[in-house]
Amino acid sequence: MEPGPYAIVILGASGDLAKRKLIPALLRLCEDGLLEPSTVIIGSGRNAISEEIFRAMFDVSVQFASRLFYHQGISGLKTYIANKGNFSKVIVFFALPPQVYSERAAELAKDGFGPETSIIIEKPFGADYTSSVELNRRLTEHFEESSIFRIDHYLAKEAVQNILVFRFANPLFFPVWDNHYIESIQINASETQGVVNRGSYFDSAGILRDMVQNHLMQLLCLTTMEPPLSLESEDIVARKIELLRCVSIEECHRFQYEGYRGEKDVDAHSTTETFAELKLGINNFRWAGVPIYMRCGKALERNGTEIAVRFKPFPGGLFEKQGPISRNTIIFMIQPNAGIIVSIVGKEIGREINLVNTNMRFCYDEHRLGEKAREIPEAYQKLLLDAVLGNHTLFVTAHETELSWKVIGDFLDKGEVATYPFGKDPPTRLGVEWIDFENYYSSCS
């Protein structure tokens, strides 16, 4: 497909996001022929720089660099774009601090950008329920909700998109996806690094705002929502909204790694959490009584994002004499190695009936299509192309963000903040046996 011709604008084009993610993603889309040849990419920022200097900021081909232009500020930007060609649509990416989103949206409207314009914004979408509602209200004063694309880059990961396929394209698993068979669900997101150079932002947010409200809630929705009527974005969003209305947090424990208060741009007396552990429930017929456990944080023992669906023990106990029987478990591995592991019990080779655990696996690195290994698209390639095409499936609506803030609202900045050593996982306070996900990565490494 060749959408366009479009003009793609990056506000804050001299920043790190444009250099590391946006321009490389647009370069790949152009190389793959997914953007119409007359599409232009216009950077905008506060500084007055020439187009030659702007083009030299990026490691791109001469042919691609010829698509790059630069305009200082927003005032006059609409006229500048019109002078470059007759574009059917303008896509504006806000590579900016979230606190200026509504102000920049108002400036775009004042400069003449209207129904032909779509805007793309990054999380966080507010800092709590009240500020989220206010942000959405101010954005929709200038642009229709259908023209606003809120990025949650987890939704663009191949392994995340495959959750719906696994659930709704395989009748093998669909009948057992409820509280009659499933004992619990675990969602884990661990990082070994601390806050690095994001101290100023992170200290005002914390891990609940930075990860739980958006990424982990979206993973929960895809894992537990009802089947959508179709794959249209409206039907998928409707099911996620239904699910979020039923979610509640039963326990939340906050932690902070030792040395965090000494990080650059962090308050010396900060009580911001860098790790959180939660127990949630879903009050509907499918999931009532099934505990949902979440944990995520920084400065931990390992890097990894996973979802585990653990099944109840088999009734009857035919093989109890052989010792404890491991629970069947399905592991959705999101990163660093993407794949799906189904852990089952089998018989060890030999005359005796000795039970052994074994894994059935689907690993992305082993199942790429085509004559040569097919590269897994980087998240921003997929998200930018979908925004250009007007496809909201992998983006988050205003209603979803507000409901997610409602779910965690009573636990933001509340309660004790315990400490843990840098590089060590805090001991659980939920009484749950956390799955050792690292054992499964050897199956897809």
> 49-58, 279-288, 305-314, 371-380: lowest mean pLDDT where?
371-380
The full set of domain ranges for the chain reads 6-122, 157-376+397-444
Residue 350 neighbours by CB under 8 Å, 6+ apart: none
Q: What is the pLDDT of residues 359-403, one digit of tens each?
A: 888 877 665 544 344 455 678 999 999 998 899 998 999 999 999
**pLDDT, greater one: 20 or 373:** 20
What is the pTM for the complete model shown? Answer: 0.91
State how beta strands 68-72 and 40-45 pair.
parallel
Q: What is the domain class of 6-122 according to CATH?
A: alpha beta
> 5-14, 183-192, 216-225, 370-379: lowest mean pLDDT where?
370-379
pLDDT confidence tier of residue 35, bands split at 50, 70 and 90? confident
For the cut 60, the answer to whether the pLDDT of residue 115 exceeds it is yes
Q: What's residue 379's pLDDT?
A: 82
> Half-sphere exposure (CA, 13 Å, Cβ side) for 117?
23
For the cut 50, the answer to whether the pLDDT of residue 1 exceeds it is no
The fold of the 157-376+397-444 domain, in CATH, is Dihydrodipicolinate Reductase; domain 2 (3.30.360)
> Half-sphere exposure (CA, 13 Å, Cβ side) for 143?
32
What secondary structure does DSSP assign to 116-173, as a single string? TEEEEEESP--SSHHHHHHHHHHHTTTS-GGGEEEE-GGGGSHHHHHHHHHHHS-TTT
The DSSP bridge partners found for residue 293 are: 186, 279
For the cut 70, the answer to whether the pLDDT of residue 323 exceeds it is no
Q: Catalytic positions, please?
A: 215
Query: Is the Cβ–Cβ distance between 280 and 294 less than 8 Å?
Result: yes
User: Which phi and psi angles does 385 have, rounded to 5°?
Assistant: -65, -40
Cα(120)–Cα(382) distance, integer angstroms = 13
Query: Is the Cβ–Cβ distance between 405 and 128 less than 8 Å?
Result: yes
Q: What is the pLDDT of residues 300-310, one digit of tens each?
A: 999 999 999 99
